[in-house]
Each structure stands twice: as C-alpha cells, then as structure tokens.
Structure 1
Amino acid sequence: MNTAAPQAPEQTQPTLQRPELLAPAGNWECAKAAVENGADAIYFGLDRFNARMRAENFTEADLPELMEYLHRRGVKGYVTLNTLIFPQELREAEKYLRTIISAGVDAVIVQDIGICRLIRHLSPDFPIHASTQMTITSAVGVEFAKSLGCNLVVLARECSLNQIDRIQYQIARSDASLPLEVFVHGALCVAYSGQCLTSEALGGRSANRGECAQACRMTYELIADGNEVELGDRKYLLSPQDLAGLEVLPELVKTGVSSLKIEGRLKTAEYVANVTRVYRQALDRAIASLSPEAPADSSLPKVDETKPNQYQVTNEEHYNLEMAFSRGISTGWFKGINNQELVHARFGKKRGVYLGEVTRIRNEQITVQLQAPVKPGDGVVFDCGHPETKEEGGRIYAVEHRGEDAILSFGRGNLNLRRIHVGDKIWKTSDPELDKQLRQSFNGENPQFQRGIDIEVYGEVGQGLRAIARDELGHVVQVQSEMPLVEAHSKPLTTERLRSQFNRLGNTPFYLNYFTNHISGNVMLPVSELNRLRRNIVENLEKLRSQPKRWQLNSNASYKDLLPISSDSSISSSPHLIVLVRNLKQLQAALSEGIETVYCEFEDPRNYREAVQIVRHYNLNIKTQKNQDIKTTIYVAPPRITKPGENYILPQVRSCDADGYIVRNYDQLKFFSADKCIGDFSLNIANPLTADYFKKLELERITASYDLNINQLEDLVKNCPPQWFEVTIHQHMPMFHMEHCVFCAFLSNGTDYTNCGRPCDKHEVKLRDRVGTEHILQADAGCRNTVFNGTAQTGAEYVQRLIAIGVSDFRIEFVNETPNQVTQIIQRYRQLLQGEITGSQLWRDLKLQSQLGVTRGSLEKNSLS
C-alpha cells in the first residue's frame, strides 16, 4: 500500500521519471541487439565472479572496445560481479576491479558486502549497484546498502507494486534515499536470490557462485502426511511462470523506480532484440499516457486527453514476448501474492504461443482449432501432458484454414504420429519470420536505433553560421561554417529549410528532436557547407560520447588494508556445541542433554515465550537440584525475510525476552542492534572483509556461509580472529527459501494466507524429487516456505581441523527429528568434540543407527574458484 499523504488538489504533481531500460547481454551480438532496439543500458558478465557463468560472457580485454561502442551510442554498461568472493580470491578481485574501473564501466553490480567495501576503498566515486542477490526487501535494506557506499539498489523480485511504493515513501523521508531498480521481464527464481542453496546442497554448484543447476525446474511429487497427493499433470511444483511486467508498466513508472531490468544473459540475441524492442515501445507509450502535457516536438506518442486510459498491451506485443521465451507469463509478484497463478506446475521449460488442441489426426495431417496465427515454416511441439519425456515436434510444411480450424501438414517422416493424440496441446515454439525481422534489427553496420539531439543555429550577414547541438546525456558541441552568411536575394535559409538539412541524419546514431533558428535576416549558405556542419556535429558528438568515464582510483589502496587483525588461535576455548531446534519437544530433548546454548527457530514466534519460560525453568531447577551456576542461554530467530507491512513480527519476537536473537537480514540487524545477536548464514559471510563488517556491528558471533568448502572456511578463519565464528556442522540444508507457498498452491484453492485455510498448520508435507529423496517443507510466520534437504549432512570429519585453527563454536541443526533422534545426535557430536570418536566414526554410526542418510556435506565440496 502506498502510504504517502495525498496531495491537495492545487499542488503540482511531481514530474514523472523516465526509468532506464536495462537489457542483458551475454555476448557481443546480444549487446548489439540491445543497443539497436532501444536499451538505455546493458549489463554483462566477465569471465569470473558473475552469477551467469554459463553465459559466453565478455573478457577484460573486451572492456575498452565494448564501453566505447556503448557510450558512442548513448548506452551505459554495467558489469555483474554478483557472486560471493572467497578469501583467496580477494587479490584477484582487486585486480579485476581496477581493470573495470579504469575501463570506464558505468557501474558494477555487487552481491558481496566485502566487495562493496573494497570498491569504495579503491575508488570514492565509482558507482556500485546492490544486486538482487543482496536480498533487499525493505527501506532498511536500502539504508544498509547506502551505508556500504552503494548508489542504486536492485530490489528482490518478490516486492509488489504496493511494497515498492511503501519503500519509496519511507526512503524519501530518510537519509537513505537511493534509486531503485526492479526486474520487469524474464525468468523468475522461485527462491529469494542470494538465499537459494539448492544447487549447493544437491550438486556442489552454488547459485551464489554463478552455477545454478535450476532444480526448481524439475518435477516433484507432493507428499502430505505420508501419502502422495494426486495432482494430475501438475508436477513442476516449484517452477514459476516467467515474469512479464508489460501490463503494469504505467504503475511501475508511477512508483518512481529508476531502472527496469530484463532478465536473460543466457538467452539469444533474438530474445534480447525482441524483448527490448517490446519494452522500449511500451515504456515510451506508458510515459506518454502519463504525461498528457508532453511538448509538441516530443518524440513520444501524443495523448488524447479525452480518453482516460491510453496504455494498452497489444496482441502483437503479447505474441512477441511469448515467442521470445515463455514458460507461461504472469505479472509475478507485482500485483501481490497469488499462489494459484504464479506456478501453474504443468511444465518447466520453454513453450511459446499456445495454438490449441489436436481435434483430428488423419492421413498424416493434424487438425487444430486455432487460438493463435500459424503459417508454414513455424515450429511446433505437441504436449501430451508429460513434458519430462521426449516430445514430438517439427516444422509445419503447409496450413489449410477451414473456418476456425487449421489442417497442419508436416514433412514426411518428420513426426511419429503414433505418439500424437487427439486432445494433445500444440505450442508454437519457433517463428522464423519473426526471427528474421529481429536479426535485421541489429545486423549491418549502420545504426538502427537513433537517439534525439537538439540543434540551435545562430548567425547574421557577414558572420559564420554557428550550430550548437545537445544530446540526451548532456553533451554539447559547437561548430561554425568556414564561410560567412551572405544576404539572400532568393530562397533564404528558412527554419523549414534549415531543419530539413540538419535532419538528414540517416545512418547515424541520432535523429533531430528540437530545432531552433536564431538567425537574423534573410541569409544564405551553400548546401554543401550545411552538410559539412551536420557531419561535424555527428563526428564531434560521437567522439565526445565515446570518451571513457574517468573515475577516481587510488593506486595505493589494497584489500589488505581492510583485513581484520587475526588473533592467536592457540588461546581459543574448549569446543562448544550449539543446538538449533524447531519445536518444543526438540527443545526439551536438547535441555535434557545439558546443552548450554540453544537456538529456536519456530514457525510461530508466539511460541517463543513458552520456549524461553521452559529454559528459565530448567535453569532454576539445575541451580536448585545440583547447586550449579551453569545455565542454558536461549536465542530465538525471526523469519529470514522482512518486508513492508510486517513490522509487527520483530516486536513479537523480542517480546519473548530471550537472551539473544539470530539475525538474518538488514532489518533485524537494525531492530536488534541493542541486543545480543548472532549473525546467521543468510548474511552470506564468505570472506574476511565481510566478516569484519558484521563484527563491527557488535554481533556476538557470525555464522560462516554455507557456500564455503573446508579449505575456504579455513582461509576465512585464519584471516580473522577465530572466536568470531560458529560453524554449522550438521543440518538439513535449507535449500529453497521462497515467497511461493506450496501449501496454499496445492493443498487449497486460496491465493494467499487470507483465504487458504492454513493447510500448513494441518499437514506434514514433503516434496519427493526424481531420485526419491523426500525433502521437508515448512512455512514461517510470513507464510514463506523453506524446502530443507531430506538428507542431513555433516562436516564431522573436519571438526578437528577447525578446532586446531581456533574454532570453538559448532552448531547442529534439527528440522523434523524426533526427541530420541535429537538426543542420539547430540550425544554423538559431544563425543566428537571431546575427541572420543572420529568424524568418520560419527558419520558411519549415525548412518547405520539412525537411518538419517547423513552425507559428508558441503564442507568437502570442491572449490568453484
């Protein structure tokens, strides 16, 4: 909800901001496709440290040429450095950043907090964009990014229009105002970016390192209370439809966001051209519909003020977007949460445009009742409801129209007609004619997309004609004729004739927007001289625009300046076991084992008060019965995400009066700043620069990122005081953390928590993957779901190595274990820390006795560096 105070009728509405249109570029061809179809900026990765390592990506050597090309065309270029950086990579990251800054890149998109610190240490003015991987969902998150030196924030995709409005309202009334960027089109991650550990858990390919394995696009079975739920053809339970914000563009513009981002660095140049062109035209139309007072010479479409709503999405635009790439399209979370719409669950791969159902198969011809146009040469696929299997498809040879039906013919032998049935759905997956048009938009040497310039001319008889040109970026050039103006006895240089001459800008990056004639009297000048002036304007503007940005760069600065002073690991204390529980029965089991530090992460924070009372009562009993001052400390955890409108949850958590709090995000860092706090894994602490930043916020301890393998973890600890850290050595990896509620979507007909009937309170639910593992599904107080790996993993074999370098705090986490299992696992880990058993003995013992299927886990995975 937009909470801004309504303005009085006589007040002037603020001027609408035209958002930047930001397009993806995985290679040179994609960059050109974006530029020639109207992108204001592109973002691209280099060959290291970016979240799309499977893209072709550019190299450092490409940067000068690429930036010169972009700037000459009036387009900005942003480098993605949006992954976590490991300790041994800081030296290379610094060199990388120096290259990027020196090349005149317009900004770098960053996930890692330590890298934000390093950039600002190297350069006081080089722009930093906080990546969506930072999981910023609130005004406090924007404030946090600004404190790091960021110049723009990419909000989480899960923010609705109302929430964006609310964030804008809040930051405008604070010192934390920063431009905001949102994704407007493309694939949606079902998990919060920066909070997805699925690829890491299942295959050692971390999404936080650019190696997403797309497990969300796979099939899953829903198991409720031990029984499989019959869902028909809905198997892709975690695969969202693609985002298309075209429908809500005017509303997005009105929120005041500064940049609209198109996803797709793994997509083709045709995709980039297609989607960029659609949004360029639609965005200009949306701006025009909101700006009825646009100047007469404006390039924007004119608005008929008698019609209340000028903006509409055309059928052609909808068709083009579906043909570009589509798993089905929706407005994502822009309109709020609709769990029935976000995930249709029927397929997880590209489909395209829906043509209809097969109504007849005869004589190698297929009849369909058409829902969309089709022509010879188009490619189609037949959907029998099992997209996980090989599907029939091919190119159409001929089309015979009979009313609403079409009879499709294919090349002989191209289809196995025995695998196609009446009732199968047909999707158009390829349109060669459209692809040809799109390629023509960026093929060739001459610019296809032009940007407006304003020209004004001055002069009088006896003087040279002086022309001043300004582009949309503020560059100004001035040229003057080599011969003076003379009095015209016939055909003087009228405004119309001058405009016509200066408007001949074909094959240049420019078109003439405004022209102003300040010439005195009736004068003349040869056409050849006017042509020379026009050419000089173009040459001088291109030269001025293509000059690299000159950012400040401190040659003496180094990442080493930011490293914390590490302490002697030999003075560390005895190993200490910390237990995280997720229900009261597990808590009682942990207390019965004498655990001195316990963390609670419950779905309902209202239950924390009882948990605290249980611990306090336990401490009193211990003191009374055993006359011991040793007591158990209890910390409680708020939900991992905090969004506008959820401010009640944090006071509710604090009201339990726990000994301390587990902080997971920027809102919690601020809210609990006066309390004892532990920084959790979701803060993504992967290097000493990040660790140092969070420790300076007075956190008791910080939890190392789950993306680190044992060698990287050792590097982190050795470069910091080891007592800063606690290491999770036993857990069910929290793989997906998502706004999407599987309970609501598949166990109710509701759209969100207001009408779902809360099946999460009534059922124990698991998701069974293709290899038969049943992953645990839980909801939190914000109705967000976490999918926990059904197989627990352990770093037990590395505990002695970690103790040797000074780590003394080790965490084990439980999800759905019984009290007996909790007791058994605690006992084994206590024996491990006391040196009574080895890590391999623990691993084998638990695997044999408890049937938990424990694996060696993420600590042993090979480095991706």
Structure 2
Amino acid sequence: MPRPIHLPELLSPAGNWECARAAVANGADAIYFGLPRFNARMRADNFTPADLPELMRFLHSHGVKGYCAFNVLIFTGELADAEQQLRELENAGVDAVIIQDIGLARMVKALTPKLRLHASTQMTITSPEGLELANTLGIDQAVLSRELSLRELERFRANESPQVPLEVFVHGALCVAYSGQCLTSESLGRRSANRGECAQACRMPYEMIVDGELRDLGDKRYLLSPQDLAAVSEIPRLIELGIRSFKIEGRLKTPEYVAAVTRVYRKAMDAALADQDLSQIITEEDRYELEMTFSRGLFSGWMHGVNHQKLVGAMYGKKRGYFVGTVSAVDRDSVQLEEVPDHLKNGDGVVFENLSNTNDEQGGRIYGIRGQWLDFQRGRLRTDFIRPGMRVFKTGDQVLEQKLRQSFQGDIPLRKKAKLDLVVTGKAGEPLVISVKGQEMVKVTSGMPLEVATKRPLSLESLKEQLGRLGGTGFELGEVEARLEGDVIVPVSELNRMRRALVEAAASLANLGEPQSVAVSPTTTLSAMLEHVSQTPNNPEPQSPTTSTNLLVLCRSFDQIEAAIESGVKQLYVDFEDIRQYGEAVKRVKEDGRAEIWLATPRIQKSGEAGFFKLIERSEPHGVLIRNLGAIAYFRDAGIPITGDFSLNVANPLTAEFLKQTGLQRLTISYDLNIEQVMDLLAGAPPEWFEITLHQHMPMFHMEHCAFAAFLSTGTDFTNCGRPCEHHKVRLRDRVGMEHPLKADVGCRNTLFNAVPQTGAQFFTGLKQSGLRSFRVELLEQDKEESKRIIQTYQALLRGTRGGEDIWRDLKAQSQLGVTRGTMA
C-alpha cells in the first residue's frame, strides 16, 4: 500500500496500572484511562489525580501518550469541578482528553489549551456533516461511531482532510446501541450510560412477542447482545482510508487481555505498513489469544455493513472463550469429546454450554486427559447435567496467562528510537531551514536570517553535534545533509530552539499531527463563560409568571395528529416510521390550518442519507425537529426553522449556548437530568431557549441492529429481509415481564421504547416558575381517543385546573402498566 503521510496510532485501554504496563510493553502508541469522576467506565479501577505525574512520566519515557477519558455529560453544578480536573490533567502533562459533552469541549479550548481535544464516540459522529459541525469546536481528533462500515468511512475522505485525524474502534465489546444515544440504564434503573454507569441491559435475555404471541426462537435468548468486534483483518484497508488511530475497547478488562490484544494489533499494523500479507502474519495462535482473553464470539462488526444474521448470535451475553469440541459421551467425573485439540492440556478451564440457562453451566479445570476423555476433580461436575452433543469451550489457559503476564512484569525496555534524517538548507540573508527527509511537512525555519561567518561557520560536524542532542525524546539522529551556500552562521541558541521545534513537529506527525491552533484569550475563565451565557439577550417578549405556556405534541400516526388538532394543540411534531408519508401529513395539517407541523429527522444520519433530509425539505413543513449534528447545517441553510431534540444531549449552559448559535430556536433538555439538574440549567441560561418532555415512553435502545430482520427473517439487511417491521407488531419481554415496544425507522434502525410511560407533571409548577414555557407530550401507540385523553390531561395541567400530583395518580390508575415519575425524580 502507499505509505501514509502520518503513521497510524495503536490506542489501548488502561483501567489500572497493570493494564497500562501491559499496553506499553506490547506495543501501544498511546493509552486511554479514566479518573474516579467524569468517565464512561466508572466500574474500572481508574487512576487518581495523584497518580497522574508518575503515570505520564512512565508513558512518556517509553514514547507513549496518555489520553484521559472525560467522556460523560457534565451537569451545570459540576462545571467548576470539571474545570479543576481539566487543570490537573493539563498540569500533569496528559496529552489529550476524550470528550462527549460539547460544553466541556469548549472549556478545554478556552481554559486548558495545552490539552488536545478528542471528540468521543459518545458524541455520535456518524457522518462527514456531523464531523464538520463538531470540528467548529476545534477538535484535534474524532472518534467515529462503531456502526460505520469501511465504505462509509471512505466517504469521510480522511486522506484529504488530515487536519481532523479520525479514530475508530478495531477490537472489543460492541454496544448494541449507538454510543451517546442509549438511555436504557437511565430509564430502567437511573444509572445513565451517559454518566459511566451502564447496567448492560443489552447483555440480558429477552423474549420476542410478535403480534401478541410469544415467538419460539429456540435457544436464542440474548437478542440484543452482539458478538465482540475483531477487525484485525481490516487493518490494511483502514490504513489506506487514512484512519489515524486504532482503538481497542476494554477499560474493564484484565491486563492479560490488554497485553494479548495490543500485541496482535501491533503485529498487524506493522505488517500492513511493511506491505506484508496479513493472512500469513496473523496466525491461528494469535486468534486463539484474542478469543481466550475475552470473547463473546469474534466478528467484524459493522466493517462490511450490516449483517443481521451474524452480528448478534443471541446465544449468550457473557464471555464464552475458545471452541474446543463437542461432547460424545459422559461418565462419572469424565467427559469424552469427539476430538481433543492439541492445545488442550491439564489445568485448562472448560465450560459445557447450556443454552437453556447460560448462568447455570457445568465446568472446571482438567485434571487429566486420556485419549478423547477429559478427567475432572472428583465431584466437581454434575455430569447428569452434561449431555452428548453439548459444545465445550475453553475458558482458562494458565500457561497463556503466565506468558502474557511475563510480557509486562519487571522492567519494560525502552523502545528503539526513530531516526531523523535531516536536510539543512540556507544562505546568507535568508533563514536557515531544517527539514526531515521524506517528510516535507516536517520542517522548521530560523527566526532570523543567516549571517556571513567570520569564524566557526556552520559545518556538517557542528550541525550534527547540536541537532543530535535528542536524549529524552523518541528520536535519534540519522543522516544529515548540509546544503549551505557559503560560510554562514546562526546563534547556537537558535539552533537549539529549532531542534526542539523539529522534535515537536516530528512527534506530532508520528502521533496524529499538530493540534489545531485556536485563538484563546489568556484571561478567559469559566465564570466569564457562564456569565456570557446568562447575560445573552432574552426574547423580545418579556417573560412573566402570567406568560402563557405552550404544549407541543409529538405524533406517530395520523390518528394522533387528528387527536392533537381536535384538542386545540397549536404545534405538532410528527415522527413517522415511514417518512414517505410526511408529505401527506404536512398537506393535511396545512389544509386544516389550525396548527403548525414540524417534522422529525431520523436520530442517526450517515453519509449518503441526505436524501432523508431532502424528502423532509420537499414536504415543506413549518419547521424541523433536529436529532443529529449533521442535520443542523442542512436545514439551517435551507431556511427552515429548527429545534434541537433530546438526542443532542444538552446538559449545561455552555452546550446550550453553542447549539443555540448554530441556529436552533429551542433545545430539548437532555433526558439524563433529574429535576434539580434541570432547574440548575434553567438558572444558568435563558429559560426560553428550552423545552422539556413531560410525558413519554422513554426511547431506550437506539441501534443499527435490526431485531425484526435478525429474528423474523433470514435476510442480512433491508434488501433481502422482506421488511417484517411493516407487517408485525413486536415487543421484547424482559426478565421481569415488561413488554417493551420495538420500532424501526426509515434507516432500518430500531428503537426499543420503555413499556412504562413516564410523567413529569408533578414538577410542572416549579418548571413554570423558573421561566420555562415550552412543554412536550410524546405519543407512541395510543389510538385517537387515548391520545385525546392524554393531551387534554396535560392541557388542564398547563391551564392550572389540575395539579401535577393529581395527574400522576390519575395516569397511574388509568394506565394498565402504570406511570413512573421518570428520570426527573
């Protein structure tokens, strides 16, 4: 392949010190880690602020960079603490922060400009248009969504946009939901994934209810648990596409996992850069190590597009290990296999698969091997639970674990330094220029012209002496070619400055290029930033306690539209699964003339899906409800009024201000905020910027995985699945018996909605007193009469003729499933 301008980076996870050592010892170029607060893996051991100086000294001495995962939403009352943590990271020499929250990203650039800013995958960047908007924050690197295929990554044209280095995940656990768009833990247990507290509901068993009846799916019970990503074979193509950082998932994994996966991907990247055939380089032993250290089954994920028959195996939701064979006979304390593989040995751990209940499986360590028989400790196995035909998986290999541990125990050798071959040019009256041979982008120029030397002119030897002082860096001096005209001289101090600048430029090139320069006022403070938000001019119409409130209703059917209009609702949001019906909806509402109709965009937009936007635009709605970053510029430039939905994750005034400046009229407050955090937000920014959803079925999982296609067809994608989503009503029943509605959108993406509606009616009075005037009710599957009842209930709340607690009790009494107080409680 053509050698890339920038050498790609291998980025490994580090949940603790041992993992950091494992990553460094096995070839990582950088690690990412978290602190006890503000990171998306709160269950990891994590590092403390006191650890940072020692950690960064260790990393930098081995030529490795350290990135801090700061990838959660930041609430208004936490901004000061977030600022303090940013300053601790900057002072400790941390190389970059990985950020989800837009407001926090602004703080990085304004308050700690020495930190590189990496946009987290939690920012849900799925299209070049979304990346372009995120880039206005001054990001130095973007972690793209895992759901992008190689073909979709190609459309980012990374090789032609080197100023925005792109990072992708290449190995590890796959979230079934889009990162930054999963509200399941928040909805079911008030443990927000956007706050690092994911409860992994995707790894739990579900039953599928189709048209009211339980569908027999055989042993498939883990309907939302994807296999793990393994893109080692795709490394050459990813390098060709210009991807600059290759990320391994796993801050909750063991150091042995980190060691094995880092080693294999280091081997793959080096081979690809040397134009070696990966099929000859990555051996079965390498793949064995990947499976043994952690695997739910390895698959290429979305790299080759969606394949709904393979992505989710649905057999289990936890580590499985390496397939050993199949049981052929059972005896007391012994099991016979059809064939015993050569790698199986005494001391290895195995498990006998029980698909009817993967939490109740027999297994243990092998005590002896007799031909095809495996012997176990007496009484260790309930062999009456093991049957011929059961599959056997290897779950433990003590020899491999010891080998992997040895890789990072003791002293870790310093890496071989990269050579700098330099070309030095110049003549009297012009600047001295030093460049790296073969890397034209890396060059430095003196800040003064060369002078004619009367004594001790620059020579090849003197240049080598000064430029070769590279101790403490990741470089050593190679060849030096002097192309100087005449006897010239420059001060030694200037040569030293140029050497340091050259090293910095070369290091930046090798590790993803120079950070973008952002003008920063040296007097900027968090207080000044927040004061600027709070003093933003309000709407021309002054707010007062008597100012009328506005009820907006989101409809998902024509019957619901009719119910809303007949109830006197003045502004509708319409969110149809089939957006081809948008034109008809707009026509009906406009002909009626009693309400405005705003159309909702899909929650995700990928490159090549701008046709959805064009269809919405051609429908000529009164406005558009924006659900992704890529849609903002399109509809703003089209001159259509726009409002931002909950999926933009507005959690603090700094995020709100940035999004308001993009042209959004209002912003829907994030569903991650409870009532106290909502009130803090409304106190920190003009309340008329916002609207809040008072009644809804929480959209929990939003995913590229289509459960309709996976379990109701044999098709791999929308071209051959037969579109069962158009013919069947599906619910997923969880372990406690709740049946959650499943819906497919125009992009064939699925949303699983909470079966239980939630209400914030009891908080209405306080919200109104804070100055908030826009309140939303979202309908899901209600018929016309039920829709009217819900709408009119909330209209009475806004008029003041019914109280919030009364409404909550009433809805609970009249709803079959009850109503939760929701995440605001």
Structure-1-length-normalised TM-score: 0.82
CA spacing shift, 1:617–1:150, aligned 2, 3 Å: same
2:771 aligned counterpart, secondary structure: coil
Answer yes or no: is 1:557 the counterpart of 2:543.
no
CA spacing shift, 1:787–1:132, aligned 2, 3 Å: same
Give yes or no for contact 2:10–2:245 (8 Å, CA) kept in 1. Answer: yes
Counterpart-to-counterpart distance in 2, 1:449 and 1:127: 25
Amino acid at match of 1:425: R
Query: Match for residue 323 of structure 1?
Result: 292
1:856 aligned counterpart, secondary structure: coil
Alpha-carbon deviation of 1:579?
Answer: 0.4
Q: Map 1:531-546 onto structure 2 (within 5 A).
A: none
Counterpart-to-counterpart distance in 2, 1:845 and 1:102: 55
Give yes or no for contact 2:362–2:381 (8 Å, CA) kept in 1. Answer: yes
Alpha-carbon deviation of 1:70?
Answer: 0.3
Deviation sequence 1:353-395 (CA, Å, 0-9, x none): 0111111012421011237431100011111213443221110
Answer yes or no: is 1:391 the counterpart of 2:361.
yes
Amino acid at match of 2:377: G
Answer yes or no: is 1:409 the counterpart of 2:378.
no
Answer yes or no: is 1:240 the counterpart of 2:211.
no
Amino acid at match of 2:75: F
CA RMSD in angstroms, aligned pairs only: 2.8
Gaps of 5+ in 2: 423-435, 445-470, 482-502, 508-513
Give yes or no for contact 2:545–2:768 (8 Å, CA) kept in 1. Answer: no
CA spacing shift, 1:516–1:834, aligned 2, 3 Å: closer
Counterpart-to-counterpart distance in 2, 1:13 and 1:93: 43
Q: Aligned residue pairs: how many?
A: 744
Answer yes or no: is 1:422 the counterpart of 2:385.
no
Match of 1:697 among 662, 668, 681: 662
Query: Match for residue 246 of structure 2?
Result: 260
Query: Match for residue 120 of structure 1?
Result: 109
Amino acid at match of 1:102: N
Counterpart-to-counterpart distance in 2, 1:660 and 1:816: 24
Counterpart-to-counterpart distance in 2, 1:587 and 1:735: 24
Answer yes or no: is 1:269 the counterpart of 2:234.
no
Answer yes or no: is 1:281 the counterpart of 2:267.
yes
CA spacing shift, 1:845–1:318, aligned 2, 3 Å: same
Alpha-carbon deviation of 1:850?
Answer: 3.4
Give yes or no for contact 1:21–1:260 (8 Å, CA) kept in 2. Answer: yes
2:374 aligned counterpart, secondary structure: strand
Deviation sequence 1:163-211 (CA, Å, 0-9, x none): 1111126x837xx941100000000000000000000000000000000
Deviation sequence 1:200-252 (CA, Å, 0-9, x none): 00000000000000000000111111111110000000000000001211111
Answer yes or no: is 1:224 the counterpart of 2:228.
no
Amino acid at match of 2:169: F
Counterpart-to-counterpart distance in 1, 2:543 and 2:387: 70
Alpha-carbon deviation of 1:642?
Answer: 0.7
Deviation sequence 1:285-317 (CA, Å, 0-9, x none): 12212xxxxxxxxxxxxx5xxxx8765531111
Deviation sequence 1:722-766 (CA, Å, 0-9, x none): 111100010000000000001110110000001101111111111
Deviation sequence 1:22-41 (CA, Å, 0-9, x none): 00000111100100010000
Alpha-carbon deviation of 1:415?
Answer: 1.4
Match of 2:320 among 347, 351, 354: 351
Query: Match for residue 647 of structure 1?
Result: 610
Counterpart-to-counterpart distance in 2, 1:795 and 1:191: 25
Identity %: 50
Q: Map 1:86-165 onto structure 2 (within 5 A).
A: 86-165=75-154
Alpha-carbon deviation of 1:15?
Answer: 3.8
Match of 1:578 among 552, 574, 591: 552
CA spacing shift, 1:597–1:511, aligned 2, 3 Å: closer
CA spacing shift, 1:324–1:510, aligned 2, 3 Å: farther
Amino acid at match of 1:192: Y
Query: Match for residue 199 of structure 2?
Result: 213
Alpha-carbon deviation of 1:572?
Answer: 6.8
Query: Match for residue 592 of structure 2?
Result: 618
Give yes or no for contact 1:82–1:109 (8 Å, CA) kept in 2. Answer: yes
Alpha-carbon deviation of 1:573?
Answer: 2.3
Counterpart-to-counterpart distance in 1, 2:344 and 2:472: 36
Q: Map 1:196-207 onto structure 2 (within 5 A).
A: 196-207=182-193
Alpha-carbon deviation of 1:653?
Answer: 1.1
CA spacing shift, 1:510–1:829, aligned 2, 3 Å: closer
Answer yes or no: is 1:659 the counterpart of 2:586.
no
Match of 1:721 among 682, 686, 694: 686
Answer yes or no: is 1:748 the counterpart of 2:718.
no
Give yes or no for contact 1:450–1:510 (8 Å, CA) kept in 2. Answer: no
Q: Which moved more, 1:421-430 or 1:20-29?
A: 421-430
Deviation sequence 1:121-168 (CA, Å, 0-9, x none): 114453100000000011112211210010110000000011111112
Amino acid at match of 2:319: K
Counterpart-to-counterpart distance in 2, 1:572 and 1:746: 54
Amino acid at match of 2:316: F
Query: Match for residue 799 of structure 1?
Result: 764
Counterpart-to-counterpart distance in 1, 2:414 and 2:443: 19
2:329 aligned counterpart, secondary structure: strand
Gaps of 5+ in 1: 1-11, 290-302, 458-468, 477-507, 519-540, 620-630, 861-865
Query: Match for residue 593 of structure 1?
Result: 567
Answer yes or no: is 1:442 the counterpart of 2:408.
yes
Deviation sequence 1:834-862 (CA, Å, 0-9, x none): 122211211111222232421111110xx
Give yes or no for contact 2:15–2:251 (8 Å, CA) kept in 1. Answer: yes
Answer yes or no: is 1:766 the counterpart of 2:731.
yes
CA spacing shift, 1:578–1:771, aligned 2, 3 Å: same
Alpha-carbon deviation of 1:517?
Answer: 12
Alpha-carbon deviation of 1:514?
Answer: 9.2
Alpha-carbon deviation of 1:827?
Answer: 1.2
Q: Map 1:185-196 onto structure 2 (within 5 A).
A: 185-196=171-182
Query: Match for residue 24 of structure 2?
Result: 35
Give yes or no for contact 1:569–1:805 (8 Å, CA) kept in 2. Answer: no
Counterpart-to-counterpart distance in 2, 1:71 and 1:194: 31
Counterpart-to-counterpart distance in 2, 1:510 and 1:114: 35
Give yes or no for contact 2:208–2:214 (8 Å, CA) kept in 1. Answer: yes
Give yes or no for contact 2:600–2:625 (8 Å, CA) kept in 1. Answer: yes
Amino acid at match of 1:369: E
Give yes or no for contact 1:24–1:265 (8 Å, CA) kept in 2. Answer: yes
1:342 aligned counterpart, secondary structure: coil
Counterpart-to-counterpart distance in 2, 1:24 and 1:228: 41
Q: Map 1:464-503 onto structure 2 (within 5 A).
A: none
Query: Match for residue 337 of structure 1?
Result: 306
Amino acid at match of 1:653: I
Amino acid at match of 1:353: Y
1:613 aligned counterpart, secondary structure: helix
Alpha-carbon deviation of 1:118?
Answer: 1.0
Counterpart-to-counterpart distance in 1, 2:475 and 2:668: 58
Counterpart-to-counterpart distance in 1, 2:5 and 2:348: 42
Alpha-carbon deviation of 1:705?
Answer: 0.2
Structure-2-length-normalised TM-score: 0.86
Give yes or no for contact 1:17–1:253 (8 Å, CA) kept in 2. Answer: no
Alpha-carbon deviation of 1:418?
Answer: 1.9
Match of 1:24 among 8, 13, 18: 13
Query: Match for residue 347 of structure 2?
Result: 377
Counterpart-to-counterpart distance in 1, 2:618 and 2:473: 62
Query: Match for residue 331 of structure 2?
Result: 362
Alpha-carbon deviation of 1:816?
Answer: 0.8
Counterpart-to-counterpart distance in 1, 2:249 and 2:100: 17
Alpha-carbon deviation of 1:92?
Answer: 0.8
Query: Match for residue 184 of structure 1?
Result: 170
